[in-house]
Structure 1
């Protein structure tokens, strides 16, 4: 983290410069977000496994505790401590902090699952690949939830492939020599580390894929434990599953009618695709309940629902290779994530054991 006085200003890192008493050398920019830039750095204090990803926050992000970026370091320290002490595979799919000072360094990753999905003609990935990715993400969530940490921003952009292509130091050195850092004027360009996977990667090769759930910038800590806490993350899993399998959003609301808006359409799609009504207890705590629902819990502006089975919604996209059996298992898996009543929603540990992820008959 960089603590400065000017808001919304990125730390002026230059290629070849060093940080933390010359321990880390800046090699290239891996990516840039609103609140931070991520850099590939070489740890000059060790002889092996010396390449790390270092995230430098803006002054504004560092100072704004409400955004959760300060707590992120606390969470990374807790994950690193437990990864060392616990024999839990879930920690293999989370970023592991290796050092922290004014810049925090951690595991080096490649590009996102989102980028791979978007590269496919159907904007979807093969079912065997989806199973592997979801399994590892759920392992990561199970590990996080065991520490009472809720991610709250589970999305494909925050699921990164591991750096397996250049995992050895000599491999990384050869790669950097062949593909040196590029600049746009004086500013380094973003150049993430590539991986070997494509949307055409077969089932046998896909078994070697590893991913990690990153970006704990919005993660909160559960103080007064409640099931609804970690199950917020489970709600997000249902969207990932649908999007990965068919290349479209599960709920894609529109604002095309004079009598209702995009929020109304979002609510009606949720009810039509799940066959559920929002529980009275949930509506009782909703600040804008009366804006959308009548006293019986029916939508005011769209009272007539047209139920749609998840199986039909998935089959309508006619994704090559997605069989009827795959669709049936996936739809059942998504329904376990889609329970409006959080008490009925599956946990990460329970979803890991779901037949959709356990089933291997249709993955080859």
Structure 2
């Protein structure tokens, strides 16, 4: 992302080009997002590969925090976060300055794996392992007062055996050369991994996942620098109501994603109805229907947007009649093969710990790591 004050554009990298005093050679485009593009680079005169992103300046601050603390602490969560290897500025021909962050290399996302399954869901043993690793990462971030704000399956990336071996990576790149589209624009070609939705519980113990992309992260205890957090369907109630801001928004997202991973469907899929109610009205209603909670007066008193959605009694203005359904019933409705009644019960309890309306009552990442739903993590 451009760091100047004008319109932001990604750096136009050219395959085979060398940059930063000829230290790095561009090998392959791995992906592209809103705030960054991701590239595979070769460090000249060294047998290593690395991954580079163009991101906002604040991300560099957070990545440096992670590196510094990883050297001083032995928390398992550092193994599930990106590690900063280098950073520098590139100035493009149009004068825009681009921040480049050299990081460890990752493979495809948990989202891609989930979408590849016929039911769009993953086996419960795999879900447990993934959630455990992501929660370990969040436990570290939250201890550093970093709120990710964009916890989603697209930002959970697998490692690949190719990334741990220079010779294996070289052989892969030789057999699978980088591709370009018209005008020689590189195509996105992520590094593959060996995992499929059919991977056995025994093999799934070798999976390693990292929570990446701190481009939207915020510092806990400080005034947020933006007004929008999380993917719309994953937004916590305090984000919609503007009542509070803290690490709890990441935990709410974990609750929603647990349902998505196990059933292949969003937990909340709100819809607007023209003039009758808004997307946010329906979202708040579905929260109340699925969790059986009401918004406390103390939370509504802290909500800047209370008057837009609630009357003086704490009832929704435009959706007065709710149709309650338990999380267990919602999960069972999809009849996912292999998802037992016991699994559903434990998962539903786990989700409820994440989905407390008042963020002060939500479980922490450290609490959730110890939850019974994750008791059999990495056990085939």
- What TM-score does the superposition give when structure 1 sets the normalisation length? 0.91
Count of paired positions: 349
Do 1:159 and 1:214's aligned partners in 2 also have CA atoms closer than 8 Å? yes
- Of residues 243-252 and 157-166 in structure 1, the stretch that sits farther from structure 2 once superposed is 157-166
Aligned to 1:279: 296
| Alignment match of 1:117 (pick from 114, 118, 138) | 114
| Alignment match of 1:92 (pick from 57, 75, 79) | 79
Do 1:93 and 1:137's aligned partners in 2 also have CA atoms closer than 8 Å? yes
Aligned to 1:301: 318
Deviation at 1:300, TM superposition (A): 2.4
Alignment of structure 1 residues 144-293 onto 2, 5 Å = 144-185=141-182, 186-223=184-221, 229-256=246-273, 259-293=276-310
Measured in 1, the distance between the counterparts of 2:5 and 2:249 equals 35
| Alignment match of 2:69 (pick from 67, 78, 82) | 82
Deviation at 1:261, TM superposition (A): 3.2
Deviation at 1:7, TM superposition (A): 2.5
Aligned to 2:38: 38
Alignment of structure 1 residues 10-89 onto 2, 5 Å = 10-47=10-47, 50-57=48-55, 69-89=56-76
| Alignment match of 1:322 (pick from 316, 339, 358) | 339
Q: Deviations over 1:140-186 (max 9, x none)?
A: 00000111111011001111111224420000010001001111131
Measured in 2, the distance between the counterparts of 1:99 and 1:329 equals 42
Q: Secondary structure at the match of 2:154?
A: helix
Q: Deviations over 1:97-148 (max 9, x none)?
A: 0111122200100011111111111111110000000000000000001111
Measured in 2, the distance between the counterparts of 1:183 and 1:359 equals 45
Deviation at 1:345, TM superposition (A): 0.4
Aligned to 1:345: 362
RMSD: 2.0
Deviation at 1:2, TM superposition (A): 5.6
Measured in 2, the distance between the counterparts of 1:223 and 1:111 equals 33
Q: Secondary structure at the match of 2:15?
A: coil
Measured in 2, the distance between the counterparts of 1:198 and 1:86 equals 33
Aligned to 2:230: none
Q: Secondary structure at the match of 1:183?
A: coil
- Of residues 121-130 and 34-43 in structure 1, the stretch that sits farther from structure 2 once superposed is 34-43
Measured in 2, the distance between the counterparts of 1:183 and 1:224 equals 43
Q: Secondary structure at the match of 1:278?
A: coil
Do 2:132 and 2:377's aligned partners in 1 also have CA atoms closer than 8 Å? no
Query: Any stretches of 5+ residues in structure 2 without a counterpart?
Result: 90-99, 224-243
Question: CA distance change for structure 1 residues 245 and 28 in 2, over 3 Å: closer, same or farther?
Answer: same
Question: CA distance change for structure 1 residues 82 and 178 in 2, over 3 Å: closer, same or farther?
Answer: same
